Structure 1
Amino acid sequence: MSGTMILGADELDPAARAQVDRIAKGDWQTRLAAITEMMREMSLQEDPQDMVRDYGARVRAMLPGDLWLSLSRRGLEFPRYRITRSSTWSEVIDPWKQKDRLPLLEGGLLAELIYADEPRLINDAAGLISPDDPAFEYLEGVRSLMAMPHFQKGDGLNMVVNMSKRPNAYDPEQFPDRFWISSLFGRATQSLVLSKELKEAYEIVDRELKVVADIQRSLLPQTLPNIPGLELAAHYQTSQWAGGDYYDFFELPDGRWGFLIADVSGHGTPAAVMMAILHSLAHGVPGHPEPPSALLEHVNRRLAARYTTSNEVFVTAFYGIYDPATRVFAYSCAGHNPPQLKRCSQGKVDTLEEVGGPPLGVFDDLTYDRAEVTLRPGDVLVLYTDGITEAMNARSEQFGLDQLNGVLARCHLDAPGIRDAILEQLSKFTDGTPAHDDRTLLVAKVL
């Protein structure tokens, strides 16, 4: 690793060299402008290795010395330490990515300095450095040095050591300023390291959440069923990568179809996990999931017995069964937003709220009532989660049922058209305000 000594001035490109000259030789206004330019450039750095290299080269050019070292005792115990940088190295090593290549030493003068947890100025190192010192190859010929720790949570885990082969090379009056400037740069570097680590951690989590979201969406219907006399449209949007909304269809005997919409309390990955459990339980009903109350009661018993009571989680759900032969829609509800039924032939909106009950998973032994309604040609049935009606704009106003029902007045639209019109009105209302809840919408129009 040894090689030709790397001097600060030699590391700089012409523009940086000129910048350093302005700082060192200009009047106060010139120096201030050059320092401002340098600080702005440093603020653009995203990689700590690049910032240490560029800033260090400028500082060493302004405050030249014979030799310098960077040390670290992070994760080590006395008297062990690592050399992370050296002016004698001809090869640049990234201490964050190539820790295994850093010299690991034990004892000697440098160990005493870095474990002392205080800055130290040595005007004459004669007698302090011996050939048997483990760092002798770095210290040979050194007569004076400045040891400046970089503290983290009160401990000097890192240290910069400036060295000269001349005794009394450093002005004690300047040492305090050199120390605090070095320390501030050390804190800035550590902040950048933490920022980079946090960014990398977020990227890992982000990739995993994308996988969770893909898995979750695979549990939803990939295509809408073809039901005679009925036109369908759906929309599913999570507020985060994954969410707790769920909808599904169940094919039943005699051409009937079950419609399920549900909303797990909470958001994000925990709600998505519960949504997956809900999917499994709903598809695990013995026989066919009918009547509507049977599916809700089956899911409720199993949620309360194993999943929700200890986690303070609950699920609202609405389940209805449509018979194309009679156009009868039978339903049960467990604390969910009641669907809206637009009677286009009569110009009114009915709310399917004749029956209801507590959300699933709250109590372990519940029965749910059943109601039914007969649909007519032209009717529009809208099932939704509260992320639709409770969506807010910048003034903290909710979208509400009035605006939803206002869109349903467009009876000339088909089911996809009504879905799109609702979403367009919702987008206009929220005007870019981020969604804080999942949004699910099912539209069925009777032909």
Structure 2
Amino acid sequence: MKVLKFGGSSVANAEQIKKVLQIFNSEAERKIMIVSAPGKRFPNDIKTTDLLLRLYEKVNMNLDYTHKKAQIIERYRDIVRDLDMKEDLLKAFEDTLDYYIEHLKDKPSRLLDALLSCGEDFNAQLLAQYNTLQGYPTQYISPKEAGIVVTDLPQNAQVLEESYEKILSLRNYSDKLIIPGFFGVSRQNYRVTFPRGGSDITGAIIARGVRADLYENFTDVSGIFRANPTVVKKPQVIKEITYREMRELSYAGFGVFHDEALQPLYKDRIPVVIKNTNRPQDRGTFILHNREIDTKTVVSGISCDHCFTVINIKKYLMNRQVGFVKKVLGILEDYNISFEHMPSGIDSISIILRSHQIKDVEEDVLNDIRRKCSVDDLNIEHDLAILMVVGEGMHRIVGTANKITSALAKANINLRMMNQGASEISIMFGIDVKDANKAVQVTYNNYFN
């Protein structure tokens, strides 16, 4: 059995939907499909999810929202008409929006989740009905019916382990199944969305639940590139990559596959392939538990992400003071701040975190560290970019780090810090934001050109 997931650009209009269903119907093993909300049809278009967000904002501010609601319905009407379908579904869609607005307008966070979920939900219903009309018996299955039970924190759902037993029963259906992505249902019977891009997560949950042989994730590119194609000209496509490598690259800015979607797949070692809806014949990139490694494929990918801040702390004989780091991290916990990296020396540590987390509480955090930890020196730096070079087996090859630092030195790029994690599959370099793109280019060229 194969589980398929199609992103927003793949189901943006009637023409794309026909391609999607042709792929879905081309193999008997392709039994379950997860769909996103319709994405952009052209560069300046608005995604359906963004239209739903604007509808929510109008309702929440007690403004006239009829025009926004009409825009959303019109988006689906265009698809229905281009597919020569009856417009019965559109009335049901409008009634659903009205129901949520009426019953949840006094619960803003619940209303937001309910409205945002409608993009995927309406699209799944539409595709299931159309595919059945084309002679392929297909059922729409809601996340509640599928058994996707999630935690009750709005916009940040996490699947509960109890879901998988119910999801397994989806194997018993003889028809093809289409399930909306992006949300589940809590025990309190609220719709709760996953983080943005969460249709990948739904697909992974279903793939694990039905014990799929393969999870096919279709998007608008023919696999995962070794570097950002907007930064590096014509980068290579990765043939195979491990879950661990993909997690590192997703964290550092690779947006092709949602990093949280790896967790359900990792446990049961279900392989994933990233494929192109518009070029389904292309091999794509396989994400596996293990891969073959040789000297040419030691490095899988190079990525760079922006908007980091670093807190530099120095204290003489820090290494002999039991619990010092615990105190510092306790202060961050008090402000609900998580850290990304923590390079350290005998008498110093640098704590790297996302800038937005400390933006409004910077002075308070620094004052607490001074007061509670009696540091000798404390400073904070902004505008840090993190260059990540990722690859299984890098620790086995002599000179890997030297090759990177030499390339950066030749390009006159200053290294503010460097760290290799315990996993030994990635090396992190802290650089100035202004050097981010150049760093990716010179590092890529040194390895792959």
Q: TM-score range by the shorter chain?
A: under 0.3
Q: TM-score, normalised by structure 2?
A: 0.20
Q: TM-score, normalised by structure 1?
A: 0.20
Higher relative contact order (CA 8 A, sep 6+): 2
The structure that has the greater radius of gyration is 1
